[in-house]
Structure 1
Amino acid sequence: MKELLKINYEAEQPTVSARDLHEALEIRERFSLWFSRYADVFEKGTDYQSVGKPTVVNNGAKRVLDDFLLSTDMAKHISMMTKTEKGKIMRQYFIDLEKAWNTPEQVMARALKLADKTIDTLKEDNKKLIEENEKMKPKEIFADAVSASNSSILIGDLAKLLRQNGVDTGQKRLFEQLRNEGYLMKTGSSRNMPKQKYVANGFFQIKETVISNPDGSVRMTKTTKVTGKGQQYFLNKYLKNKEAV
């Protein structure tokens, strides 16, 4: 079938440019005035929608003209309402297009095209999920491990965990960092003991051990330990700091 007018097949239903139809029907009346007579007869958003049509004017400059994408059904009715020989030809053209559009072959072709677009979208979504999963993997594995653990560990062991996850630190440096950041006491007999508010929120535990001296006396030692919640908190905190560098 000879193409009398360019048809846009990108949308769910085929559409045509109102300006192209105006030209194909050989309407002498100004486009805006011509189209205004049909704008109220048909429903905007269903039968047509506003678009811009780039064009080059006489001086070579580019302009964007007001245009409308019409459903082929609306274009067919406008052609019929024109009551000219050109209108009859265009009306029959749209009827023939409609028949071709609804053949089993065209219906199947559209279904396959839609399926391909759906697959491409799913592939892109899956790719993004894999990338995000790989990015978060070290944090999530660690978070799952420590959240399932009820055991507390020493500061030195926390330093090892951090180092295994890419944070450059050691026991002495981590003690110093925790003191400087206000998690541990800095001076006196309580040096390296956690501050009470961080014990209360579950980041630390204080292990008390009673030791018997050779002379029969006893003494008590206190050791700072990091809970599972604290392990998760500090790993996430220092990994984020590492990524920000």
Structure 2
Amino acid sequence: MNQLIKTIETNDEIAVSGRELHEFLEVNSNYTTWFERMTDYGFEEEIDFIPNLKESTGGRRSLDHHIKLDAAKEIAMIQRSDKGKQARQYFIQVEKHWNNPEMIIKRAMDLQQLKIKQLEAEKQENLPYTNFGKIVSNSQGAINIGAFAKMMFDDHGIKIGRNKMFGWLREHGFLIRTGREYNNPKQTFIERGYFIVTPTIVSRTEGDIQTFTTLITGKGQIKIAELLINEFLVEK
């Protein structure tokens, strides 16, 4: 079917550019004035059309609208012109083509292929967690840095004790290097779920004090183990 007016298609619906429809209809008034007049007929945002900012000449951004097909048919009819009649008939043909059983099957197959690609991309993204997940298979909970250093030696022969592990984590930007919060994890890695910090009350003769212990979560263990293995075991 020849494309009289460019359509915007998803797996759910069809829309057309308001500006392209305005141009095709050869409306005398400018686009903004014309579209505001069209909305007076009761067309509603998000139901009948969706605003869309687009690049225009000179790098400026202009407001367009994605008008859904049913609304576009009504707008074409409102024009009471030969161009409006032509556009409406075209939209009716587009709708028939869209609802053709073969096209419905094709969209379903396309959607299925898209889901397969998304699952494959997700699988590739999670591959490091699959490869290194065995490291935390017996320790899904968070553990302290000394215990993690011992686990890396026991499981992979990476000889890095507690103090060296702290140093490595500082050098690689996971822990704070100076100041009052020295050796605490950086906030960004706490937010990513790599570390948690647990408070502990220590009783002393001069009074109780609060200390903090840094624990590496299961997610953090997987990520950091991946980096350690790549650095210490993988041949360059």
TM tier relative to shorter chain: 0.5 to 0.7
One-letter identity of the residue aligned with 2:26: E
CA distance in 2, matches of 1:132, 1:160: 17
Unmatched 5+ stretches in structure 2: 141-148, 165-220, 232-236
Match of 2:210 in 1: none
CA distance in 1, matches of 2:150, 2:34: 78
What percent of counterpart residues are identical? 29
Given the superposition, is the C-alpha separation of residues 101 and 161 from structure 1 closer, same or farther in structure 2, using an over 3 Å criterion? closer
Asked if 1:167 corresponds to 2:163, the answer is no
Query: How many pairs align?
Result: 164
Higher deviation after alignment, 33-42 or 108-117: 33-42
Secondary structure of 1:8 counterpart = strand
Deviation of 1:22 after TM superposition, in Å, equals 0.2
Q: Which has the larger radius of gyration?
A: 1
Asked if 1:4 corresponds to 2:4, the answer is yes
Q: Deviations over 1:135-189 (max 9, x none)?
A: 332232x538xxxxxxxxxxxxx969825423315xxx78x99xxxxxxxxxxxx
Tell me which of 63, 67, 74 is aligned to 2:64. Answer: 67
Given the superposition, is the C-alpha separation of residues 82 and 42 from structure 1 closer, same or farther in structure 2, using an over 3 Å criterion? same
Asked if the contact 1:138/1:165 (under 8 Å) is kept, the reply is: no
Asked if 1:111 corresponds to 2:95, the answer is no
Unmatched 5+ stretches in structure 1: 145-157, 178-235
Secondary structure of 1:15 counterpart = strand
Match of 2:47 in 1: 46
Deviation of 1:30 after TM superposition, in Å, equals 1.2
Deviation of 1:37 after TM superposition, in Å, equals 1.7
Match of 1:23 in 2: 23
Secondary structure of 1:2 counterpart = coil
Asked if 1:95 corresponds to 2:117, the answer is no
Secondary structure of 2:28 counterpart = coil
Deviation of 1:23 after TM superposition, in Å, equals 0.2
Secondary structure of 2:126 counterpart = helix
Asked if the contact 2:11/2:107 (under 8 Å) is kept, the reply is: no
Match of 1:214 in 2: none
Deviation of 1:26 after TM superposition, in Å, equals 0.3
CA distance in 2, matches of 1:161, 1:5: 63
One-letter identity of the residue aligned with 1:139: V
Asked if the contact 1:6/1:16 (under 8 Å) is kept, the reply is: yes
CA distance in 2, matches of 1:44, 1:83: 24
Aligned-CA RMSD value: 3.2
CA distance in 1, matches of 2:151, 2:54: 64
Deviation of 1:39 after TM superposition, in Å, equals 2.3
CA distance in 1, matches of 2:92, 2:67: 15
CA distance in 1, matches of 2:114, 2:49: 25
Asked if the contact 2:135/2:155 (under 8 Å) is kept, the reply is: no
Please report the TM-score for the alignment, with normalisation by the length of structure 2. Answer: 0.60
Asked if the contact 2:11/2:111 (under 8 Å) is kept, the reply is: no
